[in-house]
Each structure stands twice: as structure tokens, then as C-alpha cells.
A and B are shown apart, each in its own frame.
Chain A
Amino acid sequence: MRRGGVFVVLLVLALFLLGMPQGAVAKKPLKIGAVYILSGAFATYGQFARNGINLAVDEINAKGGILGRKVEVTFEDSKAKPAVAIRAFRKLVYEEKVDFLVGLDSSGVALGVVPTLPELKRILIITHAATPDVTGKKCNKYAFRISVNLNQNVGAGARIAAKTGAKRWTTIGPDYAFGHQSWEYFQKYLKKLVPDAVFMEKVAFPKLATEDYSTYITSIMDANPEGVFISLWGGDLVNFVRQANAYGFFKKGYKVLMSLGAATEVLYALKDKMPEGVWVGTRYWFLANPSPTNKRFVEAYKKRYNAYPSYNAQNAYTAIYALKAAIEKAKSTKTEAVIKALEGLRIEAPVGKIYIRPQDHQAILNVTWGKTAADPNYPIRILKPMVTFSGEEVTPSPEETGCKMK
């Protein structure tokens, strides 16, 4: 009888313990799923994002995590393909049971993934993909973007272009949504500023990951433009610049703008082969913001990875801190509560002050362009002069983006 009683008590106790909210026993970690390009020609972007995320997570965990919970991140490869990325997100949510999502390098992938988020019921913070549509026509309440988008980057570029005095413009960009949209928005914004600007018939849209740009280069030189707007990025831009150097492209006196020319991975690959005096844009420039937050980030990043941080690293780093701020503001990790907290959130990031606009979930932040220059203190070209535009100036109003938040 007594023995049976002890057994019952133990059983009740066990049931009680199991039934208790698990947080009370040992707080389970907060899980974040991250999807980036981790293989293939653009794998370097995934690596940067991973660097940024790991740095943020280690800093946060060393200070006790988020709401007392440790942060854990699981990475998946998007292979730059929408279908692969969608599968990766499903796996993260249904099998790994992650609480939040971050990621995405390619606009094409983002356009595929964003419409599937309502089915996953998870917040996704986009840190790289720049297509206006994911915080525009295709926006939904689960999708946020912490990074500079195409509108902002190209809008600032058009303001630079307007000041160069060049009137006849052409473009070289990758042959997919990003390249074509960059050119479309560039024309739209420049036309407003310089009504008599001419946009040439002769444009070049080489396929993504093209290796030989010779004929694109000679063809553009043949058409003799005054200004060239280049939206090639990553290895494509490295390839293009080296081959264009060989043809004397940069010595023809064209006004050249490269919307992602100030990406550190490109500058590190090219070093002194990047011509001086070319206008280059980026989504974060490590020397643009003199704030202590940025100094701390650049030092920590350089110490750990032995290079100056690329924009992709900063963006991913900032996404983790934005989640932390929103969760702490909401005092909850419930998706709906964190959405409310992210909307209108203001944080101080290495890139500067960020405000997440509630109407379309796009971050409003400073956008930097600059002219390439050599500096003996840096192994890469840096920006001199540097021009920073405020987010309010270069971001179209929520009505203009076409976003109807559901």
C-alpha cells in the first residue's frame, strides 16, 4: 500500500513536471533559421551573412541571450533557386521548428519565397535581396527587409548621375529581374531630375555568371555613351571590371556608376585593378557611419574574420539585433506580437539609425555612394568623397510602393 502511494506521488509529480511550461525548468533556445546562397558562384554572399549572424549571436548569447533564452541558428543553402529556398524554409519551420527566419540573397528567390510565408506563419527578415516588390506589390505581413532596397540604392544613384552632367546613358546589368529593374528605376528617377536625359537603345544584359564580357564591352564603347550605369555584382562585376580595364573602357571619359561597386568582396578581389574616380554604391559602407556602434562592429568583425565587413555581413548581423529588439519590446516570441513590435521599430545599427516602416515593412536607413579612391591605409579602394543620402529622401512613399499589407 505504502509503496503504491509513493509510486502515485512520483507519477503525479512527473506528469506535473512534463505539463509545466518548459521555460520554467530550463529555458529552451530561441531558434532562427537562415537561408542564403552557400554554394556555387555566389557562395561568398552566404559566407558573409553567416559571418555576420554568428558574430551577432555570439555577442547576444554572451550577454544572456534574448529574454533569457540562448539563440541558435540553423543555416540552409538556397542555391540561388526559388524552389530550393522554399523547400529549405519549409524544412526549417516544420522539422527544425525554428521561431524566426532570416535570409535571401537573390531577388528572384525572394519573389518566390515571400508569397509562401503566410503558409509558414513565420517572420522572415530579408537582409540582401533588393527587389522593390517584396516590400511593394508582393508585400505581406510576415516579410520585413532590414537592408537597402533597389529603390533606395538606385534612387541615390540617379541623384549622383544627375550631378555628373552626362546626358546619354546606357546600362550593363545581369539579365534577370534585378538588372532590368535597376535600369527601369534608374531611368524613372533620372528622368525626374534631368528631364532631357536620353536613354540609349544600346544596352547590355549579359546572363548571370557570364565569364566573357569582351563583346558587351566593345559594343557599348562602340555606341559611345556619356554615362554608363552598371548593376553587375559579385564575381560578374569583378570579371567585367578586369576585362573593361583591358579594353581601356575606363579611360574613355564616360561617367561610370556601379550600383554595387562598393561591395567589399568586389573591392578585395580587384584591389588596385578597380579604377579610381568611379561612382560606386553599396548597402553598407564600413567607413560611412562614425558612430560607436559601427566602430565596435567593424573592429569585432575585422578581429574575427580578418577583413573589413561587407554589406551582407552587416545586414545579417543587424537582422539578428532587430529581432532581439522586437522580441524584447513585445516581451514575447509569438509571431503576431513580434510583427507588431517590428512595425515602427527603431534601432541603432552599424549602418546607422534604422526605422522599419509599418506600411510596407521596409527599413528606412541612410544610403551611401562614393567615388573610388586609393588610400595607403587600406588594402582596398575606399570612397572619397562619400555621399550619404537620408532614407527619407530616397525611399518612395508607402503609397507609391504598391504595398497593400495583409
Chain B
Amino acid sequence: MMETLIITALNGLSLGTLLFLISMGLTTIFGVMGVLNFAHGSLYMLGAYMCLQAMRLFHNFWLGLLVAPLAVGLLGMAIEVQFLRKIYDRHLTLQLLLTFAFLLILDDAVRILWGAGYHTVDPPRLLAGTLKVLGRPYPVYSLFILVLGPAVGLALWAFFYRTKVGMIVRAAAMDREMASSLGVNVPKLFTYVFFFGSWLAGLGGALAAPLRAIGPAMGEKIIIESFIVVVIGGLGSFPGAFIGAMIFGLFDAFGIHFVPRIHMAIPFILLAAVLLWRPRGLFGEEI
């Protein structure tokens, strides 16, 4: 019984870790720029396709893991510079519509470029097998994600709270105008932030590639889950994204194990509960 609980917890945490990386990008873009990026899930999907493409070209997963997020980040940057930037002053709904348009465009673009079928990426040989955890086989790749996620999280925390650039980003998130009048080049900063958020989505996608079937619309589900995570954790909050993702992952895994019939409702019950009792989310700032 104990082993089952621990294995289930590990399953939940590895799902949570992947969600954390993706939600982190979503919440950073929202926190700093105030943009709710509907296309974030599609950028995740694109990360997986880019990883697939890199594998086809170089036959090396690690290179794919490096290149795919960069490519997605650069695309995000182009979207920000060419489109988003022009409508910051307009009504919020226009931003939503624009990012939603990119969701549709990207979903169709991958279908045209890579076909409608399913693709798979093999994990690198080093991470392919299983490891005995409490006497049961557990996929090494899931353990790898479990370790990598918090490492990336820690690096991000150090970046935001221990470097000057990180401080500037936080300042701009808090008060755009004040930061601007203190000499921060806010438009440029936004471009970098969008690059960074897209990079995280791409990283999530590239990491998911060896686990999941790569196909059109693979971002549709993750974007909803990520939204739930950031609402639970608090929109724009970094620790919130981490805790929210872990709560989501654990509730999902234990829900599947113990109450499979209603587990699908669990994330939404969580969401409703948070909105009722703490609308700003666990770590969100006072609205």
C-alpha cells in the first residue's frame, strides 16, 4: 500500500513538474506584461514538434532539448515585436483575440508542415529504461523530469531574486510606468520576457516529446491545465506556479487512483474552491 502511495505521488509530481514549467511561462508573461497568452499551449506543442524535427536532423535528443525551446522562444519574440506590441494600448479583449488567433494558426501550421498523423520521439538511451523504486519499475525519464523541473525552478528563482536583470523584470511587473521613468526600456524588456515565456513553453514541449504522442492540438489540454494552475497559485506569482502545479499534479494522480469516477472534476472543484475562498490564488497579491 505504502509503495502504491509513493508511486502515485511520484506520478503526480512528475506531471506537476511539467505543468510547472509551462505555467511558469504563462504566469511570467501575465505578471510582467499583463497579457493572457492563449497561444501558450500551442507554443508548447511547437516545442515538441521542434524537438521532433531536431531529432530527425541531428539524431540527438540533447541537441533537440537545446534547440527546440530556443526556436520557440525566437518565434514568440517575433510575435511580440510584430503583433502584440501594436495593441498594448488597446482593450484587453484584443490581446486575447490576437493570442487566440495564433493558437489557431499554429495548430493548423503544424498540421500542414508535419501532417495530421502522430509522431514519437525516443528518449535518449541514458534515460530510456526503468529504475527500481521500492521494488517496482519506474521510468527513468519521469525521474529525470522530477529532478530537472525543480532545478530549472531554482535557477529561475535565483535569476529573478538574485540578479539585477531579474530585479528590473520584477520592478516592471510591479509598476510599468515607474520602471519606465526610472530608465528601464520597457518595450525591450517585454520582448525579452515574451521570449523567455515562450522558451519555457518550448522547453516543456521538448521535455514532453519522449513521453507523449506528438500530434496537432496537443497543446489544447495543457493550456487549460496551466490556466487552472496559475489561478490556484495566483496569477503572476512564481512560487504560486510551482505550488499550484504540484497541487494539481498530486490531486490528479490520487484522484485517478482513489476516485477514478469523479477525478476529472477535481481540478475544477479545486479551481472553484480557490476562487470562492481566495480569489487571488494561494500566492497571488491582493487585488
Contact = CB atoms under 8 A, between A and B. Distances in A.
Contact of B118 (A205, A216, A235, A243): A235
B150 interface: no
Contact of A269 (B117, B252, B257, B260): B117
A290 to B, nearest CB: 28
Q: Which 8 interchain pairs have the tightest Cβ spacing?
A: A246-B139, A238-B213, A269-B118, A214-B11, A43-B116, A248-B137, A215-B256, A44-B116
Interface residues of B, number: 41
Interface in B137-172: 137-139, 141-142
Contact of B141 (A43, A204, A211, A246): A246
Contacts of B138: 247
Interface in B177-210: 208
B116 A270 contact: no
B253 interface: yes
Contacts of B119: 269
Interface residues of A, number: 40
Contacts of A219: 8, 256-257, 260
Contacts of B7: 218
Interface string A202-231: 011111011110111011001000000000
A227 B111 CA distance: 37
Given A44-B215, A175-B264, A242-B211, A268 B117 contact: yes
A222 B264 CA distance: 21
12 contacts: A40-B107, A41-B217, A43-B111, A44-B116, A204-B256, A212-B15, A215-B256, A218-B7, A243-B211, A247-B130, A269-B118, A271-B120
A72 B87 CA distance: 45
B240 interface: no
Contacts of A39: 107-108, 111, 216-217
A269 B120 contact: yes
Given A46-B116, A219-B256, A242-B120, A40 B139 contact: no
Nearest to A206: B256
B86 interface: no
Interface centre among A47, A205, A210, A269 (most CB of B within 10 A): A269
Contacts, number: 116
Interface of A: 39-41, 43-44, 46-47, 175, 203-207, 209-212, 214-216, 218-219, 222, 234-236, 238-239, 242-243, 246-248, 265-266, 268-271, 273
B213 A269 contact: yes
A43 B8 CA distance: 33
B8 A44 contact: no
Given A39-B107, A273-B120, A215 B8 contact: yes
Nearest to A216: B256
Contacts of A216: 256
Given A39-B108, A235-B118, 14 more contacts: A39-B217, A41-B218, A43-B217, A207-B264, A211-B212, A211-B222, A212-B212, A215-B253, A216-B256, A235-B215, A238-B120, A246-B141, A271-B120, A273-B122
Interface string B79-123: 000000000000000000000000000011001000111111010
B76 interface: no
B4 A222 contact: yes
Contact of A40 (B8, B11, B130, B217): B217
Given A40-B217, A212-B15, A265-B118, A247 B264 contact: no
Contacts of B264: 175, 207
Nearest to B122: A273
Interface centre among B108, B116, B139, B208 (most CB of A within 10 A): B116
B25 interface: no
Given A238-B120, A247-B130, A40 B220 contact: yes
A352 B208 CA distance: 41
Nearest to B139: A246
Contacts of B8: 215, 218-219
Contacts of B215: 41, 43-44, 235
A235 B118 CA distance: 6
A47 B111 CA distance: 11
